[in-house]
Amino acid sequence: MCGIVAAVAQRNVQEILLEGLKRLEYRGYDSAGMTVFNDGVLTRHRALGKVAALTAQLDKAALPGFSGIAHTRWATHGKPSEANAHPHHSSDQVAVVHNGIIENYEAIKESLQRSGYAFSSETDTEVIAHLLSEKLADGLSLFDATQQIVNGLGGAYALGVMCAQEPGVVVGARQGSPLVVGVGINEAFLASDPLALLPVTDRFIYLEEGDLVELREQGAIRIVDRHGNDVERPIHTFEHGDGAASKGDYRHYMLKEIFEQPTVIEAALEGRLSAQSVLIESFGPDALALFQRTRHMHIIACGTSYHAGLVARYWLERYAGVPVQVEVASEYRYRHPVVPEGTLFVTLSQSGETADTLAALRFAKTLNYVGSLAICNVPGSSLVRESDMSLMTRAGPEIGVASTKAFTTQLVALMLLTLSVSKAKNQVEYLDIIAALRTLPEVCQRVLALDSQIEILSQAFAEKHHALFLGRGAHYPIALEGALKLKEISYIHAEAYPAGELKHGPLALVDSEMPVISVAPNDDLLEKLKSNLQEVRARGGKLFVFADESVGIDVQEDIRVLTLPHVHEALAPLLYTLPLQLLSYHVAVLKGTDVDQPRNLAKSVTVE
Ligand code: AGP
């Protein structure tokens, strides 16, 4: 998704803005640009493609100045091109960067055109520049002009704007898309994500929906809420350190994040289990009472987070006896859901800013849920702030667009939820699962040690165009997640099925060209899964099986087997995720794709 960086500093801002854009590259984008107040005028550079292309332009013609705005664009309205890249200007008097979608831009554009404004892009954003220009011509300050025009903007936006008349001023606004203020020493900054600003500050203000902010020289920051009242927002210190935003010795962020999983799983558990018990209060002081009243759950999420929710359904129904409905947020928010009495609304999100999930939460708050719980990786995010309760997954910043450690820590959090609800409602503690959770980081470490064997397996996929993933029970969502990973980063078409469903249609696809990947933990569905695998072999399919060391599937010409250490049945979905992540990673590397920033995708999907 689009990324915004802005600065009002006591030094040249070009490098601050460029470094910020590089740090936002993970969000996914197709062009980049920057406007700096330079020598009395707003001067702009824009480039199609990577931030490196913008850097190359700036190497030839630098943009020194003390205030500026910059942007990475992920195309929504208008193709990726230099003309559609931000910032958008109005007569070189106003410059605007925008993340989000202005839904009523067509009507605004027609009205502006009638007033004589000429448009130079196909974007929805350009209307904002001309609207501001109109207001500034009426004599308003940039801040007042922004305050007036945002009232007429429908849809979602985070904005950074500046104008030639007020050189040391940047104004920001937030409605539906994330924006943070970086608090420096006599300097102030804006960005879509704190990571962009870590070289210049570790202190951040998370703007609320409807907030408007003005940055001025000497680090002056003024925030006004949606009602026009001046407000003080708390300053948070970023806890993860800047190291989290670097690749270290790894070739890709994704690989680093896969290998971080033992550490972050340990972090996700820390302080949430006592010797014999799960600590329900990890979910907040009201959790016990709320879980006791919980008779149903609705879990809403998107993408990988949705897959975590699907695993949790198996856990919550089996171990806590709570009926669960899991749904993708973009569908849920437009249904007319029937909410049984005593239903808890649960959202899952790495970023906490996913537009569909956030909209689903806001919609759910109008219905008769007993409460809302967000399981999230970003403490100050909108989802966390707007939910009744939250549990942080503690995965640390995840830069690779393909989610890895965020998923496994979500699963840990969901198992803690399962154990907590079981304890609160039924007075049942699963001591065996609690004990197994403690050993999980070490078992994960042993699976990651299989990396070189998985790399060898990956060679069989590099020339393939399709793949099938199979799993049963709680491993069906793991198969879905494996297929999503392969699709996202290697661009191989992959589908996942519950293994028992194969014979109802997808078996027709199986021939010697179709690799079929299956996860085979030693659980009560193992024998049924083995029969399904025979159905594949009988049609000449090539099987790749990740199996528990005790299941006894023999390696043969048409079956390649990688054995995994034994783990408690309940936790197997967590463990079997790891080899599928590594497989996708190595296939993508062999195919030479952009592993961390796959084509067409964005990390934080802040538009509908
Ligand atoms: C997963 O690899 C993807 N990046 C994507 O499916 C992601 O999980 C989805 O967009 C939801 O994001 P969230 O967890 O930040 O809400």
pLDDT digits (tens, 9 = 90+) for 120-169: 999 999 999 999 999 999 999 999 999 999 999 988 899 999 999 999 99
Query: How confident is the model at residue 22, as a pLDDT?
Result: 92
Q: Is 2 a catalytic residue?
A: yes
What are residue 160's DSSP bridge partners?
Answer: 97, 172
Taking CA atoms, 238 is separated from 158, 199, 244, 263, 497, in Å, by: 21, 12, 11, 19, 41
| pLDDT above 70 for 244 | no
Q: Distance between CA atoms of 216 and 223, rounded to whole angstroms?
A: 12
What is the CA 438 to chain-centroid distance, rounded?
27
Query: How confident is the model at residue 240, as a pLDDT?
Result: 65
Query: How confident is the model at residue 386, as a pLDDT?
Result: 94
Return the domain boundaries, the chain: 3-244, 247-447, 450-602
Longest CA pairwise span in the chain (Å): 80
Query: How confident is the model at residue 602, as a pLDDT?
Result: 76
Residues with CB under 6 A from ligand 1: 302-305, 349-351, 354, 357, 401-403, 488, 604-605
247-447: which CATH topology? Rossmann fold (3.40.50)
Q: Is 483 exposed, middle or buried (0-12, 13-18, 19+ CB in 10 A)?
A: buried
The answer to whether 41 and 92 have CB atoms below 8 angstroms apart is yes
3-244 is classed CATH 3.60.20.10 = yes
The whole-model pTM stands at 0.78
| pLDDT above 90 for 344 | yes
Average pLDDT over every residue of 175-197:
93
Ligand 1 pocket test, candidate residues 403, 585, 594, 603, most atoms within 8 A of CB: 403
Residue scoring higher pLDDT (44 or 535): 44
Whether 450-602 and 247-447 are alike in CATH topology: the answer is: yes
Which residues lie below 8 Å from residue 587, measured CB to CB, with a gap of 6+?
Answer: 458, 461, 462, 486, 489, 490, 492
Each residue's pLDDT tens digit, 570-599: 999 999 999 999 999 999 999 999 999 888
Proportion of the chain above pLDDT 90, given as a percent: 75
Q: Which amino acid belongs to residue 72?
A: T
Left (φ > 0), alpha (ψ -120 to 50) or beta: where does 109 sit? alpha
Ranking 203-207, 234-238, 492-496, 553-557 by mean pLDDT, the lowest is 553-557
Ranking 220-224, 355-359, 463-467, 503-507 by mean pLDDT, the lowest is 503-507
Quote the ligand 1 centre to 403 CA distance (angstroms): 6
Query: How confident is the model at residue 523, as a pLDDT?
Result: 80
Query: What's 393's DSSP letter?
Result: -
Query: How confident is the model at residue 462, as a pLDDT?
Result: 86
**What residue owns the CA closest to ligand 1's atom 6?**
303
- What's the alpha-carbon Rg for the chain, to the nearest Å? 25
Q: Which atom of ligand 1 is nearest to the CA of 485?
A: 2
Residue scoring higher pLDDT (380 or 472): 472
Q: Which tokens in the block code for residue 169?
A: 């001023």
Ligand 1 pocket test, candidate residues 252, 257, 354, most atoms within 8 A of CB: 354
| Sole residue written with tokens 């203000």 | 205
Each residue's pLDDT tens digit, 450-484: 999 999 999 999 899 999 999 999 999 999 999 99
Quote the ligand 1 centre to 594 CA distance (angstroms): 17
Residue scoring higher pLDDT (324 or 239): 324
**pLDDT bracket for residue 243 (50, 70, 90):** low
Annotated catalytic residue, options 50, 485, 542, 603: 603
The answer to whether 207 and 181 have CB atoms below 8 angstroms apart is yes
Q: Distance between CA atoms of 342 and 289, rounded to whole angstroms?
A: 12
**What residue owns the CA closest to ligand 1's atom 2?**
402
Average pLDDT over every residue of 385-407:
93
Residue scoring higher pLDDT (81 or 550): 81
Identify the architecture of domain 450-602 in CATH: 3-Layer(aba) Sandwich (3.40)
Cis? peptide before 64, omega within 30° of 0: no
Proportion of the chain above pLDDT 70, given as a percent: 99
Each residue's pLDDT tens digit, 80-108: 999 999 999 999 899 999 998 888 999 99
Which residues lie below 8 Å from residue 384, measured CB to CB, with a gap of 6+?
Answer: 352, 374, 376, 378, 390, 392
Query: How confident is the model at residue 525, as a pLDDT?
Result: 72
**pLDDT bracket for residue 431 (50, 70, 90):** very high
Residue scoring higher pLDDT (50 or 535): 50
Given the DSSP bridges, would you call strands 236-237 and 88-90 parallel, antiparallel or unpaired? unpaired
Average pLDDT over every residue of 104-118:
95
Which residues lie below 8 Å from residue 155, measured CB to CB, with a gap of 6+?
Answer: 100, 101, 102, 103, 104, 124, 176
Query: How confident is the model at residue 91, as a pLDDT?
Result: 92
Annotated catalytic residue, options 2, 302, 376, 444: 2
Q: Show the beta-strand stretches assigned E in 194-272.
A: 203-206, 212-216, 220-224, 236-237
Q: What does pLDDT average to over the chain?
A: 92
Buried b (16+ CB within 10 A) or exposed e, 536-568: beebebbbbbbbbeebebeeeeebbbbbbbebb
Quote the ligand 1 centre to 152 CA distance (angstroms): 31
The answer to whether 174 and 205 have CB atoms below 8 angstroms apart is no
| pLDDT above 90 for 238 | no
Each residue's pLDDT tens digit, 200-233: 999 999 999 899 999 999 999 999 999 999 999 9
Query: What's 470's DSSP letter?
Result: E
Query: How confident is the model at residue 1, as a pLDDT?
Result: 74
Query: How confident is the model at residue 552, as a pLDDT?
Result: 73
Give backbone dihedrals phi and psi of 256, rounded to 5 degrees, phi first: -60, -45
